[in-house]
């Protein structure tokens, strides 16, 4: 006579599950639709972060879109704008901050001093000491090929590829000890390869020593040692900003400057990809909004179909929270399965991306950096969780409305 004992949660969950099984075609369509949305979200999020990361370490390696230097400064034409050029002219450090030019995404100020007898290299060798703001920099640190396992600190220096010293070793500059924090990769840009890079704070700490050792052919007066002055700015344009218009905007907003334009092809690609990322984000939001609406409409129909069952449950004492809970469990099961399926589809889609977009980028010399596995797993779990949450929210309103009805109306099937 004994029968297996089952808990209330199990019974309500099995009612939800069996209802899904009763209408297989509808359940399949619901799961498929959620799978598509979840797959787009998972793939979109993973690709967006991967592309974003790749752009950080890839496109930024191609240098700035533009360089803004003091008017009258001599500048070399280089393949990539990675550092400003030594000059005896200077600009105010807060030039861009005050101007607020919309077409400029960020402007990284740099100070450069070409000095001799600094203690770097051979006795008469000149060295370019370059100060930068780590918060705004986008042309130096992307080139780090090795570094200490900590953040850049005052007193640290980063060496260009043309200089050699072990990481963590002490480097005396004008007799002052500095720690070799990192080394940059080869760029083919002379100043960048010969440079010794440091924060503004470290640079300013050497100002007194640098004053008497200005090198030939460089910034002889070392006006750049004055507080609040910089040698120039490396500029990244805002996504979608046409380089020509941005150039005119900068020239009309800032006085006493010249604008050196980099490779406009790369600027175009960078901006295009940034716009693509925005597009993917918008698509993702739209997908989830439409999914929530679809689940809500579908569960309105499911509630209508199951009025008698819900009425019966209320008649025998089910509380409103139990009715809502049962419907929400059903939605969570369906959308959770759909979400998981979408993640699997997303993995397959990313294999296709790998063979198309990634191949294209790598052909352009832009390394594509996939996210680390823990992050991908986090995105996968996030997509499944988000699908389930959207499912629960979509089912909540129709379930809540049904739970408010009198049991007798539900049993009689009244709408």
Partner 1 sequence: MLTCIGLRKDYVTERGAVAAVAGIDLEVAAGRFAAIIGRSGSGKSSLMAMIGGLSRPSAGQVTVDGTDIWGLSENDLAAFRNRRIGYVFQFASLLPTLRLVDNVALPALLGRSRDGTDAYGRAAELLAQMGLGDHLDAYPSEVSAGEQRRAVIARALINDPAMILADEPTSDLDEQTEIEIMDELLAVNRERGTTLVLVTHNLALAEQAEQIVHIAGGGIVA
DSSP letter string over 107-133?
EEEEEEEEESSSSSSSTT--EEEEEE-
Stretch that binds partner 1, among 16-24, 81-89, 196-204, 329-337 (CB under 8 A): 16-24
**How many Å apart are CA 112 and CA 134, to the nearest integer?**
15
Under rule CB under 8 A, residue 5 binds partner 1: yes
Query: Which residues are CB-neighbours of 97 under 8 A, at least 6 positions away?
Result: none
Q: Lay out the site mask for partner 1 across 281-320 (x = CB under 8 A, - = otherwise).
A: ----------------------------x--xxxxxxxxx
CB-based contact 334:20 (threshold 8 Å)? yes
Q: Could you say which of 18, 153, 252, 264 contacts partner 1 (CB under 8 A)?
A: 18
Of 2-10, 187-195, 207-215, 266-274: span binding partner 1 (CB under 8 A): 2-10
**Least distance to partner 1, CB of residue 7, Å:** 6
- Count of beta carbons in the 10 Å neighbourhood of residue 36: 16
- Among positive and negative, which fits the CA dihedral 279, 280, 281, 284? positive
CB 309, min distance to partner 1, A:
7
Instruction: Kindly state the tokens that stand for 167.
Output: 């990481």
Task: Taking the CA atoms of 65, 71, 76 and 77 in sequence, report the sign of the dihedral they define.
Answer: positive
Residue with smaller CB distance to partner 1, 24 or 150: 24
Taking CB under 8 A as the criterion, which residues in 319-348 touch partner 1? 319-320, 322
By CB under 8 A, residue 406 contacts partner 1: yes
Q: Which residue has the tokens 């890079």?
A: 197
* Contact map string, positions 44 to 83, toward partner 1, x by CB under 8 A: ----------------------------------------
Interface with partner 1, residue 24, by CB under 8 A: no
Nearest to 107 by CA among 232, 235, 229: 235
Tell me how far, at minimum, the Cβ of 10 lies from partner 1, in Å: 9
What residues from 182 to 241 belong to the interface with partner 1 (CB under 8 A)?
Answer: none
Residue with smaller CB distance to partner 1, 323 or 392: 323
Residue 402 host element (H or E):
helix 373-404
- How many positions of this chain bind partner 1 (CB under 8 A)? 30
User: Which residue, among 33, 39, 20, has the nearest Cα to 329 in the 3D structure?
Assistant: 20
- Span of 13-21, 33-41, 348-356, 368-376 interacting with partner 1 by CB under 8 A: 13-21
Instruction: Report helix, strand or coil for 244.
Output: helix
Decide: is 15 part of the binding site for partner 1 (CB under 8 A): yes
| CA–CA dist 122, 213 (Å, integer) | 15
- How far apart CA 263 and CA 240 sit, in angstroms, is 16
Counting contacts by CB under 8 A, is residue 415 touching partner 1?
Answer: no
- Applying CB under 8 A, among 1, 25, 77, 135 the residue interacting with partner 1 is 1
CA 131 and chain centroid, separation:
26
Asked whether the beta carbons of 387 and 342 are under 8 A apart, the reply is: yes
How far is residue 239's CA from residue 407's CA, in Å, rounded to a whole number? 58
The single residue among 3, 25, 77, 135 that binds partner 1, judged by CB under 8 A, is: 3
Residue with Cβ nearer partner 1 (265 or 315): 315
Residue placing its CB nearer to partner 1 in the complex, 313 or 337: 313
Helix (H) or strand (E) holding 193, with range, is: helix 190-194
- Minimum Å gap between C-beta 399 and partner 1 is 15
CB of 46 to partner 1, least distance (A): 39
The minimum distance between CB 409 and partner 1, in angstroms, equals: 7
With respect to partner 1, which residue has the nearer C-beta, 319 or 355? 319
CB atoms within 10 A of CB 99: 15
Judged by the rule CB under 8 A, the positions of this chain that interact with partner 1 are 1-8, 11, 14-15, 18-19, 22, 309, 312-320, 322, 406-409, 411
């Amino acid at each position: 006579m004994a029968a297996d004992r089952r808990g209330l949660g199990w019974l309500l969950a099995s009612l939800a599950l069996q209802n899904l099984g009763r209408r297989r075609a509808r359940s399949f369509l619901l799961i498929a639709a959620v799978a598509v949305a979840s797959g787009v979200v998972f793939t979109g999020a993973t690709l967006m972060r991967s592309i974003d990361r790749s752009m950080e370490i890839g496109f930024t390696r191609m240098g700035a879109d533009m360089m803004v230097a003091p008017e009258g400064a001599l500048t070399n034409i280089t393949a990539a704008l990675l550092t400003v050029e030594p000059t005896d002219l200077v600009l105010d450090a807060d030039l861009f901050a005050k101007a607020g030019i919309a077409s400029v995404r960020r402007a990284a100020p740099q100070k450069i001093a070409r000095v001799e007898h600094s203690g770097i290299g051979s006795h008469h060798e000149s060295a370019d000491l370059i100060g930068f703001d780590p918060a705004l920099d986008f042309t130096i640190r992307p080139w780090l090929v090795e570094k200490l396992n900590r953040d850049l600190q005052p007193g640290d220096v980063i060496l260009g590829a043309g200089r050699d010293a072990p990481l963590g070793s002490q480097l005396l500059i004008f007799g002052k000890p500095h720690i070799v924090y990192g080394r940059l990769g080869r760029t083919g840009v002379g100043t960048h390869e010969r440079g010794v890079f440091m924060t503004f704070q470290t640079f300013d700490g050497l100002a007194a020593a640098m004053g008497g050792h200005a090198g030939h052919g460089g910034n002889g007066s070392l006006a750049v040692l004055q507080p609040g002055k910089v040698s120039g700015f490396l500029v990244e344009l805002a996504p979608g900003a046409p380089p020509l218009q941005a150039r005119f905007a900068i020239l009309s907003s800032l006085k006493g400057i010249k604008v050196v334009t980099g490779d406009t092809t790369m600027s175009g690609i960078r901006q295009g990809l940034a716009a693509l990322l925005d597009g993917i984000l918008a698509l993702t939001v739209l997908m989830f909004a439409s999914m929530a609406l679809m689940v809500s409409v579908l569960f309105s129909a499911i509630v209508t179909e199951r009025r008698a069952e819900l009425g019966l449950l209320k008649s025998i004492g089910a509380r409103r929270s139990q009715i809502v809970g049962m419907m929400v469990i059903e939605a969570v099961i369906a959308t959770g399965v759909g979400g998981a399926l979408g993640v699997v589809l997303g993995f397959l889609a990313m294999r296709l991306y790998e063979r198309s977009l990634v191949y294209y980028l790598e052909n352009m010399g832009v390394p594509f950096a996939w996210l680390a596995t823990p992050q991908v797993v986090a995105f996968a779990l996030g997509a499944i969780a988000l699908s389930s949450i959207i499912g629960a929210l979509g089912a909540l309103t129709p379930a809540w409305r049904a739970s408010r009805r009198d049991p007798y109306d539900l049993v009689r099937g009244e709408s």
